[in-house]
Structure 1
């Protein structure tokens, strides 16, 4: 039996937006995937925005270790990733979409075009259908179908039909011409042409902005039913929570529209794009079943990060709120050993750094010591979590502005390197630590909307201390460790081959 991989990311998808979890967004095909696999309900990204989050997703490393902290910050070439590891083991990982990888400039000639933007391909991956800023493949496909190609080509994402009363305007093309349909078609064509095992990473743009959905997805969700937001009564009340939030709510790219009806239409289109992605994934899943590939293919569906969508008066992904970091995760393991857990929903905390170890573990490939995450395969097969599994989720946000120097750093009264925050988020409590600004502490049982900062409440002082210590212990436990398990001795090299939970010392002759 060949072992195939289908690794799917849908960009900017909030974790609760699955009808299998009771959300109003209709995702019947992903629900069906969850019914045959396992849905991880408390899954979180380890960083935002796209580049840093994907660096963690692809390397299994926390941001504190891979250090690709912003879109465009290079990913150090010394780190391996899931694609490189699969390539070493006879796979040809194929990319359809983008990985938002800023490649290490030290590994290329200074005139190499790969250094012209941060949307380069992940080292080790075969960019069969690369799509990012360059949408030439989609435009060429549309031209063959008689579609008029605008200049600039990016207008393909933006041109709208005349707006119906109340509903978001539809994209000016049929759904069969949209980029999501195109990408899924490319993957099916690729698999059809393969005569052996395949490993596909389908990295879909949607539901990332622009939030303009083709018919009928633009009108699936009435905007008047979507004016429900997690936030204080006023922006001023919201901003009073923390100096960083006060600053963010003054930035044009972060602040939500102040007209409720405009924001609701955007939200309706955002949800519509999710249902469109679901429908197209349904086409892909049906194809795999028709070709008798379903029973041989590990399928992972997740996202790189979430979206504020007006909550806390914010748009986009940033900061410390759950909306930017809580993302979906569904894993379908075709092996018979996973039959007992099919259709289950898991509630332990899982993170993006767990994806690379899961992929490698399923294929029987050794997990590199650099990985901060852990494989989910044993949980999927046994229905139980490993001993000493994490009790909190963790994420980091690097908000320095490299392009503009230290402009906003100065407005916050901190240095360039102090533009960082770390989060420890448990079932009940959440602690946010800034490098040189006040911390925050939330009681999620009594304040699930994260509106009340309890850090200065005497009733919570002991818990704040406990969570600050958790933060310190977490960072210490995950300090970069490439060579820390090796010792040179007069009798040769000693290597402790560390399994994170069950160390097995092994002496190696030199």
Structure 2
């Protein structure tokens, strides 16, 4: 169903490391996000939305190409993205949009298109080709730090020390960060967005509005640092001891033994798995504070659209790259195979009048990050590239469930050695064996490894996924069934970029 509005603006909001089970509208106790609640009431919220991969680079590659990781193969941060694949930016350009980007995509370029001295090979990731940066954060954060300095703030010798606590020891803390709320990265992203939308108000525009939060360092400015009581936070879902959790699988043990707090709290040390429940609750209270800070700034963005008469001409998509363990299973970050890393938020506000009947609805069907690109392209009436593995979610906003909709989700994780993590030697896996794939539905979760034992969870009996039953003979038939589901999925979604073309006596033919 095509949009009938005169204007067709698109605001794609991509936050970083926001767990999908932490949305006030979906019932998260105590979380204050009134502006996102309003967006949920005005749109459709997808309860069971999953990213295809973690961490940031692979997740954003899937988000912006519509491809499963098994096809795009940008399998880890720092791993290049093949230049032969199109992406949302390139496709929007075909429809006359100048796709603007605030934030980052953590994309390493195809080395066959440039030389080894390209500066993009010396950083974690850069901007994906096809987008025009109007507020780039990665790889150097230089524009952000220059903005802080221009505001009169004296930066430390290491600018990233602004994320150390203003008081107390590094680690999980209720201390505020060094910066006032007016100078945080969240404020900067918002200022860039308002500036861009003001300048673009005389044409159809697309904006990828990225926010760094609630990504670590887990430090919040006043008043967000003390907005939530740690005692009120949910405790972590985990076994009685880290050793008991580690016994479930060698990969789980590797991360329990190797994830350090310094990646989450500026200047801290010690293993993340050593954090006691009190420290985890403090961390979660700060995480909530960072979420509310983003929500306050989204209120500024939404108010601007309403005040300038663009609210009813703008498709708004709110989503994320991946989740965050937050101490669940004795883990920090986004790793492995647990839902906390892979379940992410998805809210779509379709401004079309025919979507009025579904405003405020919650969809329980399984949806995936590869569905984002087809959704946006369908809304502007553009062709969806054959390469895309996902399907448009627009029908849900019009009150229709698309035919043959998926009944399960699939996601992947690659744990090969990169410069900041080296599991291969510990686990005894070769580079191209260091991977896993998951198939999950309402009842069971199957995790297949290329060179390590599988995992199987009975989600009805064990929703916290604490007990691996892959070795239980009673589950052997089910494990075989889900392994076959995995094989079916891989066969169906093998790269299909050119498989719809064929030569014939009549010349080149195409088939959808």
Is TM > 0.5 for Structure 1 vs Structure 2? yes
Contact 2:236–2:277 (Cα < 8 Å) also in 1? no
- 125-134 or 305-314: which moved more? 125-134
Quick check: 1:213 aligned with 2:230?
Answer: no
Matching of residue 113 in structure 1 with residue 147 in structure 2: no
Aligned to 1:249: 256
Q: Secondary structure at the match of 2:384?
A: coil
2:25 aligns with one of 10, 14, 20: 20
Q: Which runs of 4+ in 1 moved over 6 A?
A: none
Q: Could you say what secondary structure the match of 2:149 adopts?
A: helix
Mark the runs of 5 or more structure 2 residues left unpaired by the alignment.
1-5, 261-270
Once the two structures are overlaid, the 10-residue window that deviates more, 48-57 or 261-270, is 261-270
The aligned runs of 1:234-245 (5 Å cut-off) are 234-245=241-252
Q: Alpha-carbon deviations, 1:441-460, whole Å to 9, x = none?
A: 11111110001112222332
What is the Cα deviation at residue 390 of structure 1?
A: 0.6
Which piece of structure 1 moves more, 413-422 or 218-227?
A: 218-227
Aligned to 2:157: 151
Q: For residues 69-123 of structure 1, what are the alpha-carbon distances to aligned partners after superposition, in whole Å with 9 as ceiling and x for unaligned?
A: 0101000000000010001211011111111111112112433323332421111
Aligned residue in 2 for 1:43: 49
Any residues of structure 2 matched to 1:258-297 within 5 Å, and which? 258-297=275-314
1:326-360 Cα offsets, whole Å, 9 max, x none, are 11000010011111110000000000000000110
Q: CA deviation at 1:301?
A: 0.5
Q: How many angstroms does 1:227 deviate by?
A: 5.9
- In the TM superposition, what whole-angstrom CA distance separates every residue of 1:171-210 from its partner, at most 9, and x where no partner exists? 1222111110111111111111122111110111000000
Q: Is structure 2 residue 240 aligned with structure 1 residue 233?
A: yes
- Contact persistence 1:256–1:263 (CA under 8 A): no
Q: Aligned ranges for residues 337-352 of structure 1 at < 5 Å?
A: 337-352=354-369
Q: Distance in 1 between matches of 2:152 and 2:428?
A: 55
Shift of 1:486: 1.2
Could you tell me which residue of structure 2 aligns to residue 87 of structure 1?
A: 93
Does residue 98 of the first structure (1) align with residue 104 of the second (2)? yes
Which residue pairs with 1:436 in the alignment?
451
Q: Kindly state the Cα deviation for residue 404 of structure 1 after the two structures are TM-superposed.
A: 7.8
Give the match for residue 504 of structure 1. Answer: none
Q: TM-score, normalised by structure 2?
A: 0.93
Checking the alignment, whether the CA contact within 8 Å between 1:99 and 1:121 is kept in structure 2 is: yes
Alignment counterpart, residue 179 of structure 1, candidates 167, 176, 185 = 185
Question: In the TM superposition, what is the alpha-carbon distance from 1:161 to its structure 2 partner?
Answer: 4.3
Aligned residues of 2:411 and 2:439 also touching (Cα < 8 A)? yes
The equivalent of 2:3 in structure 1 is none
Q: TM-score, with normalisation over the residues of structure 1?
A: 0.94
- 3-state DSSP class of the match of 1:204? strand
Which residue, 441, 449, 471 being the options, matches 1:426? Answer: 441
Question: In the comparison of the two structures, how many residue pairs are matched?
Answer: 493
Which moved further from structure 2: 179-188 or 259-268?
259-268
Distance of 1:411 and 1:162 partners within structure 2: 36
Q: RMSD across aligned C-alpha pairs, in angstroms?
A: 1.6
TM-aligned CA distance change 1:464 to 1:272, over 3 Å: same
Listed as ranges, the matches of 1:445-460 within 5 Å are: 445-460=460-475
Unpaired runs of 5+ in structure 1?
A: 499-510
| CA displacement at 1:490 relative to structure 2 | 3.1
Q: Per-residue deviation at 1:384?
A: 2.4
Q: Deviations over 1:1-28 (max 9, x none)?
A: 1200100111000001111111132111
Asked if the contact 1:167/1:219 (under 8 Å) is kept, the reply is no
